[in-house]
């Protein structure tokens, strides 16, 4: 096999590995209202706009999840343990307000192809037309969310 062909294959594998680089992890507390709003936006909007998006929700009030949260804070360079902390690929966000929605979308789309961006825009438009029907016809997308509850502290 020629070297150029091997390089092409390896490049393709790297590109495939980065295809899901924008998956989301949200570190939250069940009693935090900002966390609740962030989770609602992710669960009721983003997973439908981005059909391949994988979401992990980590309850930071669980002793089982504490070290993972500390590691995320460290990775993100955050000094406070305020929640929510949303990690999209390599980009971190602490706190949540509706004004942050487009910023989250941009972070998700950072490595997207034009075709993937168009699909997301089409999905967003279809949801704007009739969200209930779109959600109903894509109910399987809720299965892309992994909940890490663990034990209470």
Domain-wise residue ranges, the chain: 23-148
Is 23-148 in CATH node 3.40.30.10? yes
Bridge-based pairing of strands 85-88 and 91-94 is antiparallel
Predicted TM-score (pTM) of this structure: 0.83
Residues β-bridged to residue 27: 58, 85
Per-residue pLDDT of the chain (153 residues; tens, 9 = 90+): 454 443 333 334 333 334 445 799 999 999 999 999 999 999 999 999 999 899 999 999 999 999 999 999 999 999 999 999 999 999 999 999 999 999 999 999 999 999 999 999 999 999 999 999 999 999 999 999 999 998 765
- 23: buried, middle or exposed (CB in 10 Å: 19+, 13-18, 0-12)? middle
CA gap 148, 5 in Å, rounded: 42
């Amino acid at each position: 096999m020629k070297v150029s062909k091997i390089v092409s294959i390896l490049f393709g594998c790297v590109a495939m590995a980065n295809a899901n680089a924008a998956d989301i992890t949200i570190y939250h507390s069940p009693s935090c209202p900002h966390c609740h709003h962030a989770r609602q936006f992710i669960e009721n909007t983003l997973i439908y706009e981005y059909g391949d998006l994988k979401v992990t929700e980590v309850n930071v009030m669980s002793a089982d999840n504490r070290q993972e949260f500390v590691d995320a804070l460290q990775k993100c360079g955050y000094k406070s343990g305020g929640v929510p902390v949303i990690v999209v690929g390599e980009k971190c966000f602490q706190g949540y307000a509706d004004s942050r929605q487009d910023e989250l979308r941009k972070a998700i789309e950072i490595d997207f192809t034009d075709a993937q961006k168009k699909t997301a825009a089409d999905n967003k438009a279809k949801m704007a037309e009739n969200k209930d029907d779109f959600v109903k016809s894509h109910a399987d997308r809720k299965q892309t969310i992994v909940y890490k509850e663990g034990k209470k502290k």
